[in-house]
Amino acid sequence: MIRVILGSVLAGAFIVGLGLIGLAAGGSRSLNAYLTLSGILFAIGMFGFLARRNAISMLMAIELMLNAVNLSIIGFASFDEKLGPSGSVIALLVMAVAAGEATVGLSIILAIYRNKKTPLVDEYDAMSQ
């Protein structure tokens, strides 16, 4: 019981500490905060794409990177009145393309899994032999 409470408090402190990055970059009323969050999320996704062994983990990291780009588009759209509602439309189109990408990517992974019986990308070495 005490461990659960202590863990929750620690996790809450970690979340607030990470969130203070956004506040330090200017808070919710500045464009820099949105762009900083977007950059951090993109870096996290890039690390995941380069470092994970599982093909589905790599696809999830790609989704994180696409969301980071969407966040920066929304940030620019809300602070530049010339862009205005076009930014929302561009973000919606990016979401539709991301949905198509996820569909085709996951079905390719399933098709490879049916042949190789493993989801780990470093065992897909048929072209290096």
Partner 1 sequence: MAIGPTIPFTAIPWDDALFVLLAGTMLASGLAVVLMRDIIRCGLAMMVCFGSLAGIYVMAGAPVVAAAQVLVYIGAISVLVLFAIMLTQTKLAPARMAFQTQAVPAAIAAVVLLVVVLLAVGSTTWGGGPDRGDTKTTDVATVLFGPFVLPFEVVGVLLLAAVIGGVFLAKRDRSAADRPE
- Give Cα separations from 54 to 62, 121, 124 (angstroms): 13, 6, 11
51 near partner 1, judged by CB under 8 A: yes
| 7: helix, strand or coil | helix
75 near partner 1, judged by CB under 8 A: yes
Q: Which residues pair with 120 in a beta bridge?
A: 54
Of residues 28 through 47, those in contact with partner 1 by CB under 8 A are 28-37, 39-47
Identify the residue among 1, 4, 5, 81 touching partner 1 (CB under 8 A). Answer: 81
* Site map (CB under 8 A) of partner 1, residues 88-127, x = contact: xx-xxx-xxxxxxxxxx-xxxxxx-xx---xxx-x-----
> Do 38 and 46 contact (CB within 8 A), yes or no?
no
16 near partner 1, judged by CB under 8 A: yes
Min. distance of Cβ 105 from partner 1 in angstroms?
Answer: 9
> Do 42 and 65 contact (CB within 8 A), yes or no?
yes
Of the candidates 114, 1, 99, the one whose C-alpha atom is nearest the C-alpha of residue 59 is 99
Min. distance of Cβ 127 from partner 1 in angstroms?
Answer: 18
69 near partner 1, judged by CB under 8 A: no
